[in-house]
Amino acid sequence: MFSDAVLDHFRNPHNAGDLPDATATVEVTNPVCGDVLRLAVRLESGRIAAARFKTQGCVAAIASSSVLTDLLSGKTPAEARTITPEHISDALGGLPPASFHAAQLCTDVVAALVRKL
């Protein structure tokens, strides 16, 4: 059902945990499935120097959150805003339609982050 990339990010998530010196922290919830994603980033010289996440949710939500932190690294907030659910899904080798909501959750958290920065 899931690609090898999804399973790898789920089993070995990148950048999971807290970011004590975060510039901003935001949290979003998918009201339909109950997934919760908290994202913290630290900006340096106008770019995302570090991103960490904590996700409570399904395999796809955790894998999508992991890949999101990889995609955010080095980007400006304006560049981060251009990340789409399709970018996240593609980076994971394609999410099944029933799990695509996980990629949307990630773009929702980026939108909340950009509003806060």
pLDDT digits (tens, 9 = 90+) for 52-94: 999 999 999 999 999 999 999 999 999 999 999 999 999 999 9
Helix (H) or strand (E) holding 114: helix 101-116
Whether residue 58 contacts residue 104, with contact meaning beta carbons closer than 8 Å, is answered with no
H runs (alpha helix) in 1-84: 4-11, 59-72, 77-80
Residue position matching structure tokens 């796809």: 60
Q: In the predicted model, what is the mean pLDDT of residues 27-52?
A: 96
Helices 59-72 and 4-11 pack at an angle, to 10 degrees, of 90
Reduced to 3 states, what is the DSSP secondary structure of residue 20? coil
Q: In the predicted model, what is the mean pLDDT of residues 36-43?
A: 98
* pLDDT of res. 27: 98
Whether residue 40 contacts residue 51, with contact meaning beta carbons closer than 8 Å, is answered with yes
Q: What fold, for 4-116?
A: Sufe protein. Chain: A (3.90.1010)
